[in-house]
Amino acid sequence: MAIDIGRFISKIRQMSPVLGLALEELQTGINNMGNSIAVNPTGKLPPPPPIESVSVKANNGLVHIVATHNAPIQKGIQYIAEADTNPAFTQPHPIDMGASRSHFALLPGMDDDSNPQSWYVRVFAQYPGSDPSEHTYFGSKFTPTAVTPGGTTTLTPIPSTGSGTSSGTGLQGGKGLGVDFNRL
């Protein structure tokens, strides 16, 4: 998506050649900036294609998350992982991976009472000017694979408050940067 004044430019140039040239340069500049920062000057970009797969490896509380994403994408893409102790991802904790498709995170292997706790992981991609892509799960959407971080760290997570412009309750997981321009 881009700004397109092509249908008006011939009339504008007839009235003022300088104004026509200035508007064409302005259109080019705005569209180039939109492409560079992954936004659409006239609305939202389509979400990126879904990530093909997610791999997770854990040891001693350290979890390595790797997303495989070989689809055509544009500059400015960001990756967000979510981890939750509930396989339904009812209140997931966002992990901002930035532009990287590989991330190391520390996740507690036990709750406050020293009971082992498992985590579930999913990853999605988003442009600053788009909604998130479909989620890709470690395992599958219907049967995510549990990750046991191991280690001796004990911590029952505080409930997540979400990310981006989604509700501050943390009950709207999977929204990444947000799907609304503003949260009111």
Find the mean pLDDT for residues 61-69. Answer: 98
pLDDT in tens, 105-155: 999 999 999 999 999 999 999 999 999 999 999 999 999 999 999 999 999
CATH class of 46-177: mainly beta
pLDDT in tens, 14-27: 999 999 999 999 99
Find the mean pLDDT for residues 99-108. Answer: 98
Model pLDDT, residue 9: 85
The region that residue 13 occupies, defined by phi over 0 for left and psi between -120 and 50 for alpha, beta otherwise, is alpha
**pTM for this one?**
0.90
Tokens of 59: 């040891």
Q: Residue ranges per domain, the chain?
A: 6-37, 46-177
pLDDT over threshold 80, residue 1:
no
